[in-house]
Chains A and B, each alone.
Chain A
Amino acid sequence: MVAMNITVCVKQIPEPSSPGALDPSTHALKRDGKLILDESDAYGVEMALQLVAAAGGGEVNVVSMAPNGETSGMRTALAMGAAKGVLVSDPALAGSDALTTAKVLAAATKKLPAADLIIAATESSDGYTGTVPEQMAEVLGLPSITFAKKVRVDGTTLKVDRQSESGYDEVECPLPAVVSVTAGVVEPRYPSFKGIMDAKKKPIDTHTAGDLGVSPAGWAGAGQKVVSVQQAEARKAGTIIEDDGASHGKIVAFLEDLKVI
């Protein structure tokens, strides 16, 4: 095996357990509080660490785009074992659409050692547009395999089990390539105490969109505009009962009423 370098795209998102909110003027997701590593991206970081270990050398690096120079989510990836990071943070990027994000991240990967493989999650947990990995591949002129549930590297060939509607497909392509991984593809490690301490000293280079030569960006460049936000019609509240050992009878009666049985 030969050493390989992998770049992982990570998103730093608001704590998912806190209720989401939209900015009243821009209608964008509010992302001004503390940001954490998107759980979906922990799978990609873990996958990268395992592939590099299997290759017997090389390094895992991370790229991210976030407001306000936020790095706490990236530090989690570094604590897991990634070597260094590139952050793109620029007020002009606020409100960017998925295409601009892909252009920015693609440019950011070039600030790191050339990657044999670029890994991303299939979609983020907050915005879930779900197109950025494939858009990055097109920007970079690379082959791509999305929705990977199993990934291995054999020499310079990427071998992936890719989810399909009816099961999975075996797909292969030469490296370098972009792959998007689903949750559950591997079990992400917890950062060790030493990992957390080391991560504080690992380098994160911060760039603006201008540094990367990407424009237009932000609200001005987004090809979309929110025109309305409405409350969805809520389902009517139903009957909630505590099981007393006979509640299955209520289900039977309910199904009878609907003529399902």
Chain B
Amino acid sequence: MAVSHVWVYAQVVGGAPTAGTLELLTKARALGGTVSAFVAGDGAALAGPAGAHGATTVYATGDIGGRLPGIAAAAAIKALIDGGASPDVIMFPQNYEGRDAMARLSVKLDRTVLTNNVDVAATADGVAATTPIFGGNLLVTTAFSGPGPHLVSFRPKSFAAEASGGGAAEVKAAPVPDLGTSGAANVVGVHVEQSSGPKLDEANVVVSGGRGLGEAAKYSLVEDLAKLLKGAPGASRAIVDAGWVPYSYQVGQTGKVVKPGVYIAAGISGATQHLVGMKGSKHIIAINKDKEAPIFGIADLGIVGDVHKVLPALIEALKSRS
């Protein structure tokens, strides 16, 4: 079965498609066949950019109110398929909404899922997806062995977004059917944790701190250095779990995937969970007391030393230059 129809699970934030949406649409074109986008929300803002990235159709649920988007989306996609739509592959972003949608849909369609992928290719009888394991040391490629639709999710920044120059996609309604008991969860409040400076996943310089900082108050060293380098502060999962900084700072498998020009890891040992989120950085500088720390295995410049000494000295040196 060659691939004839590829769907991309799209997301719109603040009136524009997310970076991940455009990345997936770009890759979808390479699989062959037609490309459609699906969005749990209003399709108007998506029609232009999705078309420009190769989609001919946008399926949109319209306003979903306070329902959790992934759960509403899965029901709407199932209804489209029951109504005759026949995607061979549905590509999801590896994030909260994408994971919910693909998991619910997996049961509704009785199809398995492949998650955490960084690549996908068409095969003679479907698609095969590639995921890094053991901290990215091995790449495992897995093919679906049953009939489609094949449900695959991808880590952010797995592909570079590139416009194809297509015209606006046609928007078609994808109404959400009655969700019954399983759709009984409602969002009753939204809280945005503000941070100043460039966004973590867009900054050219990222400075991240970990347990080696010793205490929450010392995280200000990381923030000061990030500010001096016009970068964004990040964090390992350990200090997010410890409550030192909000989750939105987390770099890693379950946080943000970053690929800055320069990544500075301060007091981070380099657990697999963290490495997965930053090893795509162009240049890596690591400061850690333990010379056996795994982070040194991928650092371009490694300083075996105490972050409480090296960071203040570095901050002073940078300040004296400006």
Give me the interface of A with B, judged by CB distance under 8 Å: 19-20, 22, 27, 97-100, 102, 122-123, 128-135, 137-139, 141-147, 149, 161-174, 177, 182-184, 222-232, 234-243, 245, 247-252, 254-255, 258, 260-261
Specify the chain A residue showing the minimal Cβ separation from B299: A238
Q: Contact between A232 and B139 (Cβ–Cβ < 8 Å)?
A: yes
B10-22 interface bits toward A, Cβ cutoff 8 Å, 1 = contact, 0 = none: 0001000000000
Of B41-49, B51-59, B311-319, the stretch lying at the interface with chain A is: B311-319
For the complex of A and B, 10 pairs with smallest distance between CB atoms: A243-B305, A184-B241, A134-B103, A170-B189, A223-B112, A173-B185, A138-B107, A131-B103, A238-B300, A240-B302
B133 within 8 A of A: yes
**List of A residues within 8 angstroms of B110 by Cβ:** 99
Nearest-neighbour CB distance to chain B for A191, whole angstroms, equals 20
Q: Within 8 Å CB of A231, what residues of B? A: 137-139
Most buried by A among B68, B102, B110: B68
**B224: CB under 8 A from chain A?**
no
Question: Cβ of B246 < 8 Å from any Cβ of A?
Answer: yes
* Cross-chain contact of A167 among B193, B204, B297 (Cβ < 8 A): B193
Q: Closest CB-CB distance, B289 to chain A, in whole Å?
A: 9
Q: Which residues of B contact A177 (CB under 8 A)?
A: 184-185
> Given the complex, which residues of B lie within 8 Å of A242, measured CB to CB?
291, 304-305
- By a CB distance below 8 angstroms, the chain A residues around B313 are 245, 248
The residue in B111, B204, B310 that gathers the most chain A C-beta atoms within 10 A of its C-beta is B310
Q: In the complex the two chains form, is B309's CB within 8 Å of A97's CB?
A: no
What is the total of A-B residue contacts with beta carbons within 8 Å?
246
Nearest opposing residue in chain A for B102, CB measure: A131
Within 8 A of A (CB), among B280-313: 283-285, 291, 296-306, 309-310, 313
Q: Is the CB of B99 within 8 A of A258?
A: no
Inter-subunit contact B188/A143 (CB<8 Å): no
Contacts of A133 in B (CB 8 A): 103
Which residue of B137, B185, B310, B321 has the most chain A CB atoms within 10 A of its CB atom?
B185
B107 shortest CB reach to chain A, Å: 4
Q: Nearest Cβ in chain B — how far from A3, in angstroms? A: 22
How many angstroms between the C-alpha atoms of A255 and B78 in the bound complex? 51
Q: Using Cβ atoms and an 8 Å threshold, which residues of chain B touch A143? A: 181-185
